[in-house]
Amino acid sequence: MKSRWCTSVFVLWILTITVLGWFFIKGWTAEGSDGRTEILLAAAERDQILAEMRLLLKAVDGIVRGLGEPKRDLKQMEETARAVGMHMAADTEPAIMAKLPLPFKQMGMSIHKDMDVLADAIEQHETPQQILQRLSSITARCTACHDMYRFKAN
């Protein structure tokens, strides 16, 4: 009797881990009508992620504008990039992260990490061309993600 109970508990544990792992990888998604994967979120969760994306876009805009100035404010550009780095990603609610598919999470985290690397590059006085190349790499992932995913409030 005891071994049957232990076996049942073990099987239930394995099943639970498998289901949680599957949701961690797949997230809460559905196939969209336009071929993209829909990430299913509550309206407030969707708004929070979209607000984060807007902050990233504003940071890119601020850095590009800064590069165009005759007298660059490198400290401001560095702070702008760092504000949307990993510090920003750490504030994402675990409940939202659980709903995001793994490739989306990986792209998002790589963008936040690269914004910190960009801030370091600005601080180390890389050339405007080097900074633009770094930004190009970041925005290429943004556009790839937007080509793959969209949010749907449920």
Question: Mean pLDDT for the chain?
Answer: 89
pLDDT (0 to 100) of residue 74: 97
User: Residue 115: inside a domain, yes or no?
Assistant: yes
pTM, entire model: 0.83
3-class SS of residue 72: coil
Q: What is the pLDDT of residues 14-73, one digit of tens each?
A: 655 555 555 556 688 999 999 999 999 999 999 999 999 999 999 999 999 999 999 999
34, two tokens: 């336009």
User: Residue 139: inside a domain, yes or no?
Assistant: yes
pLDDT at residue 13 is higher than 70? no
| Band of pLDDT at residue 154, cut at 50, 70 and 90 | confident
- Domain tally, the chain: 1
* Strand ranges inside the chain, DSSP E: 29-31, 37-41, 149-153
User: Residue 16: inside a domain, yes or no?
Assistant: no
pLDDT (0 to 100) of residue 94: 86
CA pseudo-torsion sign 119, 69, 143, 89: positive
pLDDT (0 to 100) of residue 52: 95
User: Residue 7: inside a domain, yes or no?
Assistant: no
**Residues of the domain holding 73:** 28-153
User: Residue 34: inside a domain, yes or no?
Assistant: yes
Residue 60: CATH number of its domain: 1.20.120
User: In percent, how much of the chain has pLDDT > 70?
Assistant: 86
Is residue 127 a contact partner of residue 118, using CB atoms and an 8 Å limit? no
Angstrom distance (rounded) from CA 124 to CA 133:
15
User: Residue 18: inside a domain, yes or no?
Assistant: no
Angstrom distance (rounded) from CA 42 to CA 57:
23
User: Residue 48: inside a domain, yes or no?
Assistant: yes
pLDDT (0 to 100) of residue 18: 55
User: Residue 133: inside a domain, yes or no?
Assistant: yes
Closest CA to 148 of 25, 43, 31: 31
